């Protein structure tokens, strides 16, 4: 190869790559998070990765769906700004600094409750943990695509639905 071409390639790659001082802390944090995640898998990492691979193989609809909702998502910006303005007006009408102090006091009381009752809450959480973990594990096995397919198959081909409503007596 021509040394000038190699030099141009190396310089182009050097310009394209981000500054190591900005990237290395993020990589270090990501590697710590990955290590902590793998350490808590209790030897089930390959099973998790296989499940994730299956999820990715069945996720072809995600990109088109995101592209489809983008225009309507963009249209929510102004209504959200309007809601924010209403919230600012609302807090202003309540006597803004005092209302914020009262909300802060409420959160302080809630935090004190959690601090004081942490041992009790721990006992309750430990008793409920196996059930919650069982529920979470069973939810992972629900095939939502099959449920949706069955639901769609229940509708007629023309998409019409007959709805019968009974009006209660007054």
DSSP percent split of the chain into helix, strand, coil, nearest 5: 80, 0, 20
What's the mean pLDDT in 64-89? 81
The CA-atom distances, in angstroms, between 92 and each of 17, 82, 145 are: 48, 15, 47
pLDDT band at 59 (very low <50, low <70, confident <90, very high): confident
Per cent of the chain over pLDDT 90 is: 0
41 with 48: CB under 8 angstroms?
yes
Residue whose entry in the numeric block shows the structure tokens 């990589």? 27
pLDDT digits (tens, 9 = 90+) for 20-36: 777 777 778 887 777 77
Which has more pLDDT, 1 or 162?
162
What's the mean pLDDT in 28-45? 74
Structure tokens, 107: 């959160």
118 with 126: CB under 8 angstroms?
no
pLDDT digits (tens, 9 = 90+) for 127-157: 888 888 888 888 787 777 787 787 777 777 7
The ranges assigned to domains in the chain are 1-51, 78-136
């Amino acid at each position: 190869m021509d040394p000038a071409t190699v030099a141009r390639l190396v310089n182009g790659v050097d310009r394209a790559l981000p500054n190591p001082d900005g990237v290395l802390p993020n990589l270090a944090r990501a590697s710590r998070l990955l290590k902590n995640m793998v350490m808590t898998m209790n030897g089930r990492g390959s099973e998790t990765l296989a499940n994730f691979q299956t999820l990715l193989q069945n996720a072809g609809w995600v990109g088109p769906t995101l592209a489809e909702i983008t225009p309507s998502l963009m249209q929510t910006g102004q209504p959200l700004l309007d809601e924010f303005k209403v919230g600012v007006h609302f807090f202003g009408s309540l006597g803004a600094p005092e209302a914020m102090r009262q909300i802060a006091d409420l959160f302080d009381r809630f935090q004190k409750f959690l601090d004081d009752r942490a041992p009790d809450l721990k006992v309750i959480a430990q008793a409920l943990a196996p059930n919650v973990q069982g529920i979470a594990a069973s939810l992972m096995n629900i095939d939502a695509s099959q449920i949706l397919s069955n639901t769609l198959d229940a509708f007629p081909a023309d998409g019409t639905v007959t709805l019968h409503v009974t009006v209660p007596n007054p």
